[in-house]
Structure 1
Amino acid sequence: MNAMQPLKAKYKLIALDLDGTLLTDEKQISEENKKWIQHAVNNGVKVIFSTGRGCQNTKGFWDELGLDSPMVLLNGAEIWEGPGKLKNRIFLPRDTIRRIHAIAAELGEWYWGYSVESLTGDKDWTPEMLKRDWMKFGIGSNDQQKLAEIKKELLSWGTLEITRSASTNIEISIKGVTKESGVRQVCQMLGLTMSDVFAIGDSDNDAKLLKAAGLGVAMANGEEQIQSIADVITATNNEDGVAQAIRKYVFQME
């Protein structure tokens, strides 16, 4: 393929999950994935992240790809218009954080949270942390029954969005804050609709976005329920699944 040859894209916005999707198991972006992301950008497609990660551990990948597009971080709790241009943050109320933290400390095996100041895990947590504003909180356990009980309790409050990025965790935001809600904000900023969106992911926190997108793509290494709701399934994160999907479905090249 001639790099100078313009390609006609079927979708105007590509929303990429990171862990288990764009990133390999070694947390790298393959050269093939980089190539097809660059082809998309060069042909007028907006490429954004839609990730549970925050700016603290996403910016390096943003810089590596040279993207100047918006980003949906923290499962939609933090939206950026572009590098250094914050659009919106949605915080959990401090009293809610205190209640969640108490449950995490008592029942979880590990926990973490994203504030403006830091990504903080349980080993670095201090009482001062409860005076900060938190956008997302996570609780982890290898005990599925324990996680289910924690989730049931948190959902009973009626104010929280509960999802997960792995089978061993739950991720907590304000009710209604999801990757889908974040990508909808980006579409409004760019004058696009959800039918213009090609979204790709592997975990429960991708589910609503994949269902709402013009095309929802699941990774072959993704959860069974994600594969069942997706429109199509691509190769694994270690087999350039993102590149293969962009090539086949965005540019319709066999």
Structure 2
Amino acid sequence: MKKIKMIALDLDGTTLADGGILTENTKQVLEEACRRGVHIVVASGRSFYSLPECIHQVEGLEYSINSNGSSVYRLHTAERICHETLNSACVPTILAILQEENACIECFVDGIAYADQAFVEDPVGFGATEQGRIYIQKTRKPVDGIVSFIQDNITNLDAIDAVVSNPEQKARLEEKLAQAGDFYLTSSVDHLIEMAGSRAGKAAALQWLAGELRIAPEEVMACGNAENDRDMLLYAGYGVAVANSPESLKRDADYVTEDNNHEGVANAIRRLVLDSGEPQSGEEPNAEE
């Protein structure tokens, strides 16, 4: 195994314990890796301005891949250094499919998450859990008519999400959306379908950033727990799945660590990186794509 120079971390269900908690031990492990010159990169389905505050408090953490790879940011300056928008030609078809199924729709524009006023006011009424209610009301900016808002911002969409009510609806929508045009389609949790630009995906964004930093794939570790993490686990020289991942993701990983509630990411970094020497850091990217 080559020395690891970059670690990409999914957040929810992977690095963060349930409830969006970053444990003090995990924070210390991430900061120790940063001090040793390892580039720690957030790789999340969340929009940039939906990232939890605890992530901004990790000293030395540099970059953030957001909206399933549609954007790359310098974390502490909020400078977007790479951006892939959703193909506007596909949006009318996407919206028609989602409206036909009465799916609840969200969108991300310039790193901000937007949703219908009614959904933000009462997420539980749309099927969200109590924990989901807290997250939605904290991170979603309400608008009066999400479809009209999307149409008004059709050329500047980071992503569109559909909140589904049951597995059958999700399966129907995924089948229809797969034929709806040239865009990236994935899912991070059971109740979401996520759509972004055709060149999005966590792996694509991670590959771009690694190239800017002159880091080879075999020098990259990626940690995840869901379908939207699969591509980056396969891209990375060392893909790590937490124990709470689906069995199919574990089979595609190089290493399976403890679950997110038992600091699996921190344990994997300690075992595989911190106890294996001190990787050298790369150079700063500064290109806008």
TM-score by length of 2: 0.79
Shift of 1:89: 1.5
Q: How far apart are 1:67 and its partner, in Å?
A: 3.6
Secondary structure of 1:121's partner?
strand
What secondary structure is seen at the aligned counterpart in 2 of 1:75?
coil
- Name stretches of at least 5 consecutive residues in structure 2 with no aligned partner: 120-141, 277-289
Question: How far apart in 2 are the matches of 1:189 and 1:61?
Answer: 27
Residue 93 (1) aligns with residue 53 (2):
no
Q: Distance in 2 between matches of 1:72 and 1:137?
A: 16
1:87-136: CA deviations, max 9, x gaps?
A: 12211133422332232233144221111173112334422342112111
Matches of 1:229 and 1:57, distance apart in 2 = 29
1:108–1:196 Cα change, 3 Å: farther
Query: Would you say 1:121 and 2:115 are equivalent positions?
Result: yes
* Structure 1 counterpart of 2:241, from 205, 218, 225: 218
Looking at structure 2, the residues matched to 89 and 217 of structure 1 have their Cα atoms a distance apart, in angstroms, of 26
1:191 aligns with 2:222: no
Runs (4+) off by over 6 Å: none
Structure 1 distance, partners of 2:52, 2:12, is 14
Q: Which residue is 1:58 aligned to?
A: 51
The offset of 1:34, in angstroms, is 0.5
Percent identity between matched residues is 25
Matched, 1:134 2:127: no
Partner residue in 2 for 1:77: 70
Partners of 2:66 and 2:30 lie apart in 1 by: 19
Q: Deviations over 1:24-48 (max 9, x none)?
A: 1111100110011011011111101
Instruction: Indicate how the Cα distance of structure 1 residues 117 and 85 shifts in structure 2: closer, same or farther if over 3 A, else same.
Output: closer
Matched position secondary structure for 1:156: coil
Matches of residues 176-187 of structure 1 in structure 2 within 5 Å? 176-187=199-210
Distance in 2, matches of 1:187 and 1:116, equals 23
**Aligned match of 2:228 in 205, 208, 229?**
205
- Please state whether the residue corresponding to 2:232 is helix, strand or coil: helix
CA apart distance, 1:216: 0.3
Q: CA RMSD in A?
A: 1.9
Tell me the CA shift for residue 235 of structure 1.
0.7
Q: CA deviation at 1:204?
A: 0.2
Q: Which amino acid aligns with 2:152?
A: K
What SS does the corresponding residue of 2:105 show, helix, strand or coil? strand
Which moves more between the two structures, 126-135 or 160-169?
126-135
Mean Cα displacement is larger for which, 186-195 or 80-89?
A: 80-89
Cα distance between partner residues in 1 of 2:36 and 2:190: 37
Distance 1:74 1:246 in 2: 24
Contact 2:47 2:112 in 1 (8 A): no
**Is contact 1:25-1:238 (8 Å) kept?**
yes
**Counterparts of 1:117 and 1:237 in 2: how far apart (Å)?**
26
Q: Structure 1 residue 68: deviation in Å?
A: 4.8
